[in-house]
Amino acid sequence: MVITGIMLKRLRTEAGLTQKGLAELVGVSQAHIAKIEQGKVDPRLSTINKILQVLTEGEKRTCRDIMTKGVLLAKPNNSILKVSEVMVRHAISQMPVMNGSRVAGTVTEESIIRNLGSNIAAEKVKNVMDPPLPTVSEETGINTIRPLLGRHQGVLVVKGKEVIGIITRSDLLKIIS
């Protein structure tokens, strides 16, 4: 298999990295990455190996590796006041809503703001919640959830039917930095 600059650029964009971000992770200049992608330089094998290692690293990591454990949960009959206090105290922007052992929806900062009114504090979560976040198993690869996080604020990680973690966009940023 021949590794081309076009192939490396495709892998980089799929990984959600800029040329500068990739360059920092590999230890070369952004200009060097640009020249490699354009086919203007013939990089050393060690540089190509470093690039490929960085770009394929996410394929080996699973949701279990990066998820936040101890997910804070809301119930459909909780008041928005109670849930928003928890969200502010823990600096989170969404909470799964559980009805027994079933994920019934998600309450988010956005859903609360969308329903702002004089009685929002007394409103029940079930009246303002959004649909549930997607769920994945703890063995799911990070590359699989990347597109999900493009469309949703988070992904719930489950073991069997039990919610054991959550992954948000900020969790993906943590693995890059």
Tokens 């990066």 sit at which residue? 66
Band (pLDDT 50/70/90 cuts) for residue 30 is: very high
Domain identity same for 143 and 155: yes
Q: Tell me how long the chain is.
A: 177
| Residue among 44, 40, 41, 11 at smallest CA distance from 27 | 44
Single pTM value for the model? 0.66
Average pLDDT of the chain is 89
Residue-wise pLDDT tens digits, 90-132: 999 999 999 998 999 999 999 999 999 899 999 999 999 999 9
The helix or strand, by DSSP H or E, that contains position 30, with its residue range, turns out to be helix 30-38
* Residue 56's CATH number: 1.10.260.40
Q: How far apart are CA 112 and CA 109, in angstroms?
A: 5
pLDDT over threshold 70, residue 57: no
Beta strands in the chain (DSSP E): 68-69, 94-99, 102-108, 135-137, 154-159, 162-168
- One-character DSSP codes across 55-72: HHHHHH-BHHHHPEES--
For residue 102, what are the β-bridge partners? Answer: 99
Q: Are 105 and 97 in contact (CB under 8 A)?
A: yes
List the single range of 20-24, 34-38, 55-59, 100-104 with lowest mean pLDDT: 55-59
| CB count in 10 Å sphere of residue 56 | 12
Q: What angle do CA 34, 38, 43 make, to 5 degrees?
A: 75
Domain identity same for 69 and 148: yes
Domain identity same for 90 and 168: yes
Domain identity same for 28 and 99: no
Residue-wise pLDDT tens digits, 32-48: 999 999 999 999 998 99
Return left, alpha or beta for 33; rule: phi > 0 is left, psi -120 to 50 is alpha, else beta. alpha
Chosen domain end from 60, 85, 100: 60
pLDDT over threshold 90, residue 52: no
| Residue among 154, 56, 43, 47 at smallest CA distance from 105 | 154
Tokens of 34: 């640009």
Domain identity same for 163 and 80: yes
Domain identity same for 161 and 76: yes
The residue range of the domain holding 172 is 64-176
Domain identity same for 54 and 84: no
Domain identity same for 78 and 120: yes
